[in-house]
Structure 1
Amino acid sequence: MLDKIQEAGSSKSTFYTLLGGEQGGTAAIRLLVETFYDIMDSDPKAAPIRAMHSADLTAAREKLFMFLTGWTGGPQLYIERYGNPFLRRRHLPFSIGESERDQWMYCMIKAMQTLKMDEVLMQKLAEQLYGVADFMRNREAE
């Protein structure tokens, strides 16, 4: 699903490989997701999107972890358990505009920064995630 990205001066790799592959990619994605939801759960800037989630974030954490593992080029955990993610369809019950997209991206970028992710990798990953987050919008610009 994810196009391979070109790592400077080397062969093409997926984000999953760049995050550590089988040796560390899964752990890196788990840590990213946990940090992301910890930020969403505590940062007032993310309060509107936090309110869209249930009080218990356990299921959301697990589903995002499973999705991102496959999306980055690792094992297709989400698809194996739930089938096609149909992301936009699954997000239709929620009113998502530019503000919600930007709050989601704020949490994700802050999580990557908190984890001190490589700057180039973080920028490339954020660019790709922005496209996904923007695709979730189902409300016109205000």
Structure 2
Amino acid sequence: MAQMVREVMTAPPVEVSPQAYVTDVARRMREEDIGAVLVTEDGHLRGLVTDRDLTIRVLAEGGDVSGTRVREACSTELVSVTPDDRIDRAVQLMREKAVRRLPVVDPDRDRAVGIVALGDLAVERDPGSALGHISAADPNQ
């Protein structure tokens, strides 16, 4: 059983600039079959944007979204883990902060190197659970 974040994280992470248009980010999420991307600038983590962020912070507001930048939709107050953190630490942070995804940051380089999601942890820790089954299943597009 995996013990370290590096063993379950998705790497490399998909990254976009804060200046990217949300429509381009949404297309990228669809193409890559992912629900979150890291927002980086000059290689440094600036935020995280999820498919839910795009829906709640952009689409639900109405109007023309074609000119909306990802910096207007992303979460910027982030909590992260390192590749060498124990999985238990990731679980603890997700519970405390009520988040489903954590950026994985290499502290020596101050660079995002991956992302770990609740589904990744469910597949690893509880593969027989409903969330484990759903997270391990092929996407249905």
**What is the TM-score when the length of structure 2 is the normalising length?**
0.25
Q: Which has the higher helix share?
A: 1
**What is the TM-score when the length of structure 1 is the normalising length?**
0.25
Q: Which has the higher strand share?
A: 2
